[in-house]
Amino acid sequence: MDVPRGFTIRESDHRIHNPLGDAKPAVLGRALRPRPGRHVLDLACGSGGLLCTRARDHGLTGTGVDLCATFPASARARATELGVTDRVGFVHRDAAGHGADEPVDVAACVGATWIGDGGPGTVELLRRSLRPGGLLLVGHPFRRRTPPDRAAVEGSHATSRDDYPSLPGLLARVDEPGCDVVEVVPADRDTRDRYVAAQWLSTRRWLERNPDDEPAPVLRAELTTAPVRYARYEREYPGWGVFALMDR
């Protein structure tokens, strides 16, 4: 089992596979003030960008788990680049249902809450690995504005207007498992622009190198329409953020 190939092509040059950008993780780190030596479990860690950066900037240790066969190698290369190979490790495994062998100080899933069938389920999954008094970090989409019609719903990669809750609605859902929200760091339009536009460039470069590969026709058609769809719908209606939680 692996993630869809189109995803790995679009995000082949991404270090962080979500619209936080480079500055927002630093904001989150300063806000939470993690102590050096604390251990992080990062489920669906992608290329390890967030975990490696936390290890470098805050002296944390950690384990990243991801389903994609190619991402652990990219994550190890990033750890080498940042000089944190002695503090972090990466495992190729389905993060859904994964638990740490020992309780961790921070349990994170930043942008892949499908591993727990949504936000509340992912919170429960992360809790299984968390020590008392630890932090949960969850990245999740929300609705900035309500799509006015079916075209806007589908253009936002949703099936209905209710797919993305409002920010108050999402915070209420996170509250249901009995957690306190202690920090919110939302993506903004600029960081989202950078995240999505980088997908277009990676796709274009891949198409130039692989014009006859099997996914090429689909990705060519996607690239032709993606910028307009993004500007018209995705940039306007969905939001995205990272939420830090603690058990009550």
CATH number at residue 175: 3.40.50.150
Query: 106 to each of 54, 97, 130, 140, 209, how far by Cα in Å?
Result: 11, 17, 7, 17, 40
| Helix 216-229, helix 189-209: angle, nearest 10 | 150
Q: What is the pLDDT of residue 2?
A: 61
Domain extent for 140: 15-187+237-247
Q: What whole-number percentage of the chain has pLDDT above 90? A: 71
Cα(196)–Cα(194) distance, rounded to whole angstroms?
6
The secondary structure element, H or E, covering residue 26 is helix 23-32
Residue 32 lies in a domain: yes
Whether 93 contacts 41, CB under 8 Å: no
Confidence label for 24 from pLDDT (cuts 50, 70 and 90): confident
Cα(152)–Cα(111) distance, rounded to whole angstroms?
22
Query: Which pLDDT tens digit goes with each residue over 188-232?
Result: 999 999 999 999 999 999 999 999 999 999 999 999 999 999 999
Query: Which pLDDT tens digit goes with each residue over 33-57?
Result: 888 999 999 999 999 999 999 999 9
Residue 171 lies in a domain: yes
Residue 76 lies in a domain: yes
Q: What is the pLDDT of residue 57?
A: 92
Residue 226 lies in a domain: no
- Contact partners, residue 139, CB within 8 Å, separation at least 6: 18, 20, 109, 110, 111, 112, 113, 240, 241, 242, 243
Does 12 have pLDDT greater than 70? yes
Residue 223 lies in a domain: no
Q: How many domains is the chain built from? A: 1
Residue 9 lies in a domain: no
**Identity of residue 175:** D
Mean pLDDT for the chain overall: 92
**Interval 105-118 mean pLDDT:** 92
Residue 199 lies in a domain: no
Query: What is the torsional sign of CA 188, 192, 194, 195?
Result: positive
pTM for the model: 0.91
